[in-house]
Amino acid sequence: MKIQCKNCKIGCELWILDGKVTGNRCSRGLSYAHQEETSIFYTRVSFVGTAMSKLAVKSSRPLTEEEKEKVSTFLAEAKVLAPVEAGEIVLKNVGNMDVDFISQRRMK
């Protein structure tokens, strides 16, 4: 798995294979690779039925970088129909990964 280190300004590309880390230029990169960073995933999906073509959404739970990559392929194909309310779940169980996506704003 390839990830980009965010612990310093260098931004090394880290490769993790069978628990072994390569590509780090400092010890902070090594420690970054061993922690599994998760965060809420904010993105936009296609929106149909209004003048706006994209809808801002966020994940219902924190995702790892690997999960974000997987779910992005499903979101690229997703279309949400108007109207939606802010805070409404607009996409459920995306990619069978037990993650929903929630609208960030009201759109009619």
What are 37-74's pLDDT values in tens digits? 678 999 999 999 888 899 999 999 999 888 999 999 99
Question: Residues 45, 7, 15, 39: is their CA dihedral positive or negative?
Answer: negative
Considering only residues 100 and 21, tell me which one the structure prediction assigns the higher pLDDT: 100
Q: Using the 8-state DSSP alphabet, how is residue 83 labeled?
A: P
Give pLDDT, residue 36.
59
Alpha helices in the chain (DSSP H): 27-34, 65-77
Q: Give, rounded to a whole angstrom, the gap between the first and last alpha carbons of the chain.
A: 40
